């Protein structure tokens, strides 16, 4: 058997014995995203080596060799999960971040064995750097992704490569397709107390507290993300998208809240509650140097990963606040034609492919203001879950209660959008990777000090790459009904569990028999 060891000095080919695997505490795990089909990976095709070193074990990653190309085409990710222990500290980990670490592999990209955690896994020195280095080495995809924008933004437009800081270089790599927009980095060690010298020494420290506060507010009792999370994603989009190359001004600067006028615009209906929450957070943390602009964008990325299956989008702080209202007419209209919307986003440096990825945020949404008579109706059959049903159901059949925006239908049918739209419909990993990249771009529109920002992705909650809705049967009953039931819509809106299955069944029986339908759901 042959393998290649990846290390700082390069790639070294090794000969590995067939029995050269870790002990029983380790195992091979697969993360696959291709239509839920199981993938076979024989352990004899992979090799790992674990070396004791002090109080921790160092896990080496190996590139697989001699694997038929056809076997790679359906692989979305491969991870080795190992119980790597480090004594003397508490480290954040859970079974859910197994696949959040997996590099996005699709089409004919070479399969790599990647690092991850599972169960009682902890961390080891240099782990985060190693993982991000491995992820950044992925060769950008070709094919349908060739239409992605590589246009530079902010101060990156005028800075030479020699002038770039590590953050500036990384952001440039992300938006030009050379580096992933997702992060596997987590906080290592115990978080210092607020106000302590140790916390002040790390810009990201205070953001661990802010992120934790957001996560508790964004997660519903059913495990789905709730209305405040959805509104935070929308708030982040609306604040940042108030910028274009043609107009200048605006962007991710906090003006949506600070201006005092933007929140009252019709296109921002429904954002008042989340704006009040962000304002409250600002009051609690302004003495630590946070800005509205950063709070808004951090809320959007925390909310995204709080939604089941959502990506951990690389997150930055250091934006400057600006109370000047954004120029008018820069947000999309739900009734616009495809050509208008594509041109609108091209003026923001976002290509048609990038727009296709950003549209997927509608996967978690429930409309209230486009058609008030159907308030609470979702845009796909799994509101509060970050999945690709939105792409499938915008293109095809959907339950009666699914509300499709006309603009989304128009875009899905446009030849500049349709191929990527269809690709996302069967590839969660593809969408997550592209969305993360495009949201990094979006979150930095109008920001002219990108080179001076600080990356704080390590404060984000862990991703959940698997999720079971225990009340799925009840949700399906609601989605396939035409009766208006505010209690159910509100429960789903808030991420709460639905109850009352027996009452639903009885009500449906009455409906079939011609009896008067009861309000069968309870929450």
263 and 289 share one domain: yes
Helix (H) or strand (E) holding 437: helix 428-442
208 and 124 share one domain: no
Nearest to 185, CA basis, from 411, 495, 508, 456: 456
430 and 503 share one domain: no
Residue 190 has pLDDT above 50, yes or no: yes
Lowest mean pLDDT among 116-120, 161-165, 220-224, 385-389: 116-120
CATH number at residue 160: 1.10.520.10
76 and 98 share one domain: yes
185 and 320 share one domain: yes
Q: Which of 90, 108, 136 is the last residue of a domain?
A: 136
Q: Which of 136, 167, 190 is the last residue of a domain?
A: 136
114-147 confidence digits (pLDDT tens): 333 223 333 334 444 444 444 443 434 433 356 8
Residue 506's pLDDT band (boundaries 50, 70, 90)? low
Residue 436 has pLDDT above 70, yes or no: yes
Residue 280 has pLDDT above 60, yes or no: yes
In a domain, 521, yes or no: no
Can you give the pLDDT at residue 76? 29
Radius of gyration of the chain (CA): 23
Percent of the chain with pLDDT over 70: 67
In a domain, 113, yes or no: yes
In a domain, 222, yes or no: yes
Residue 61: both structure tokens together: 């990653």
7-46 confidence digits (pLDDT tens): 334 434 444 344 443 333 232 232 323 233 333 332 223 3
In a domain, 357, yes or no: no
Q: Are 495 and 384 in contact (CB under 8 A)?
A: yes
Residue 98: both structure tokens together: 């197994």
Average pLDDT, the chain: 76
Q: Are 312 and 182 in contact (CB under 8 A)?
A: yes
229 and 252 share one domain: yes
Residue 302 has pLDDT above 50, yes or no: yes
Q: Average of pLDDT values for 234-242?
A: 98
Q: Is 193 exposed, middle or buried (0-12, 13-18, 19+ CB in 10 A)?
A: exposed
Can you give the pLDDT at residue 33? 30
Q: Are 208 and 194 in contact (CB under 8 A)?
A: no
190 and 56 share one domain: no
Q: Average of pLDDT values for 222-246?
A: 97
171 and 284 share one domain: yes
Q: Which of 85, 111, 136 is the last residue of a domain?
A: 136
Domain with 87 in it: 2-136
169 and 272 share one domain: yes
Residue 358 has pLDDT above 80, yes or no: yes
CA 193 vs. chain centroid, Å, equals: 28
Q: Which residues pair with 81 in a beta bridge?
A: 27, 116
156 and 274 share one domain: yes
Residue 314 phi/psi, 5-degree rounding, is: -60, 130
Helix (H) or strand (E) holding 10: strand 10-15
For the beta carbon of residue 283, count every other beta carbon within 10 angstroms.
9
Residue 483's pLDDT band (boundaries 50, 70, 90)? confident
Q: Is 335 exposed, middle or buried (0-12, 13-18, 19+ CB in 10 A)?
A: exposed
Can you give the pLDDT at residue 214? 98
Lowest mean pLDDT among 69-83, 395-409, 428-442: 69-83
490 and 435 share one domain: no
CA 25 vs. chain centroid, Å, equals: 31
97 and 204 share one domain: no
> CA of 24: how far to CAs of 27, 82, 85, 308, 454, in Å?
7, 10, 15, 30, 40
56-104 confidence digits (pLDDT tens): 222 333 333 333 333 333 332 333 222 222 222 222 222 233 333 333 3
| Concatenated DSSP letters of 42-84 | -GGG----EEEETTEEEEPPEEE-S--HHHHTT---EEEE---
pTM for the model stands at 0.72
Residue 500's pLDDT band (boundaries 50, 70, 90)? low
User: Based on the structure, what is the number of domains in the chain?
Assistant: 3
Which letter, b or e, does each residue of 133-170 get, where b requires 16 or more Cβ atoms within 10 Å of its Cβ?
ebbeebebbeebbeebbebbbbbbeebeeeebeebbbb
Q: Are 246 and 260 in contact (CB under 8 A)?
A: no
Residue 146: both structure tokens together: 């060739």
- Higher-pLDDT residue of 419 and 145 is 419
Q: Is 12 exposed, middle or buried (0-12, 13-18, 19+ CB in 10 A)?
A: exposed
In a domain, 352, yes or no: no
In a domain, 259, yes or no: yes
444-482 confidence digits (pLDDT tens): 999 999 999 999 999 999 999 999 999 999 999 999 988
Residue 141: both structure tokens together: 């995809």
Q: Are 311 and 305 in contact (CB under 8 A)?
A: yes
In a domain, 179, yes or no: yes
In a domain, 343, yes or no: no
């Amino acid at each position: 058997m042959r393998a290649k060891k990846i290390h700082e000095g390069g790639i070294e080919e090794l000969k590995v014995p067939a029995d050269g695997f870790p002990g029983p505490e380790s195992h091979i795990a697969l993360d696959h995203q291709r239509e839920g089909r199981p993938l076979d990976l024989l352990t004899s095709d992979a090799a790992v080596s674990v070396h004791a070193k002090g109080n921790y074990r160092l896990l080496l990653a190996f590139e697989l060799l001699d694997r038929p190309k056809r076997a790679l085409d359906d692989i979305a990710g491969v991870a080795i999960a190992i119980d790597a222990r480090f004594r003397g500290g508490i480290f954040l980990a859970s079974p859910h971040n197994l696949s959040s670490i997996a590099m996005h592999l699709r089409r004919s990209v070479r399969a790599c064995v990647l690092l991850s955690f599972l169960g009682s896994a902890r961390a080891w020195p240099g782990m985060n750097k190693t993982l991000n280095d491995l992820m950044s080495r992925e060769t950008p995809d070709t094919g349908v992704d060739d239409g992605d924008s590589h246009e530079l933004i902010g101060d990156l437009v005028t800075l030479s490569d020699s002038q770039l800081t590590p953050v500036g270089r990384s952001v440039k790599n992300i938006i030009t397709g050379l580096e992933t927009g997702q992060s596997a980095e987590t906080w290592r060690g115990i978080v210092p107390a607020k106000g302590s010298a140790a916390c002040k020494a790390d810009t990201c420290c205070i953001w661990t507290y802010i992120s934790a506060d957001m996560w508790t507010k964004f997660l519903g009792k059913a495990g789905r993300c709730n209305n405040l999370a959805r509104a935070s994603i929308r708030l982040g989009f609306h604040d940042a998208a108030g910028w274009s190359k043609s107009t200048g001004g605006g962007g991710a600067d906090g003006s949506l809240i600070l201006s005092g006028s933007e929140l009252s615009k019709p296109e921002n209906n429904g954002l008042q509650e989340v704006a009040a929450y962000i304002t409250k957070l600002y009051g609690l943390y302004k003495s630590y140097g946070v800005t509205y602009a950063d709070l808004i964008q951090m809320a959007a990325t925390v909310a995204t990963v709080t939604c089941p299956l959502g990506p951990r989008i690389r997150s930055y702080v250091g934006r400057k606040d600006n109370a000047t209202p954004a120029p008018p007419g820069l947000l999309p209209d739900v009734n616009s034609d495809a050509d208008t919307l594509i041109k609108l986003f091209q003026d923001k440096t976002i290509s048609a492919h990038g727009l296709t990825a950003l549209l997927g945020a509608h996967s978690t949404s429930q409309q209230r203001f486009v058609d008030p008579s159907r308030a609470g109706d979702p845009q796909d059959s799994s509101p509060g879950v970050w999945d690709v049903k939105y792409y499938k159901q915008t293109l095809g059949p959907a339950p009666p209660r699914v509300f499709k925006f006309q603009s989304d239908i128009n875009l899905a049918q446009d030849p500049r959008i349709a191929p990527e739209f269809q690709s996302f419909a069967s590839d969660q990993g593809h969408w997550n990777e592209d969305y993360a990249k495009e949201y990094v771009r979006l979150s930095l529109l109008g920001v002219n000090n990108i080179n001076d920002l600080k990356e704080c992705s390590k404060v984000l909650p862990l991703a959940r790459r698997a999720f079971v809705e225990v009340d799925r049967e009840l949700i399906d009953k609601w989605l396939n009904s035409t009766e208006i039931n505010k209690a159910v819509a509100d429960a789903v809106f808030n991420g709460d569990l639905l109850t009352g299955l027996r009452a639903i069944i009885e009500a449906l029986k009455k409906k079939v028999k011609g009896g008067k339908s009861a309000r069968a759901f309870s929450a």
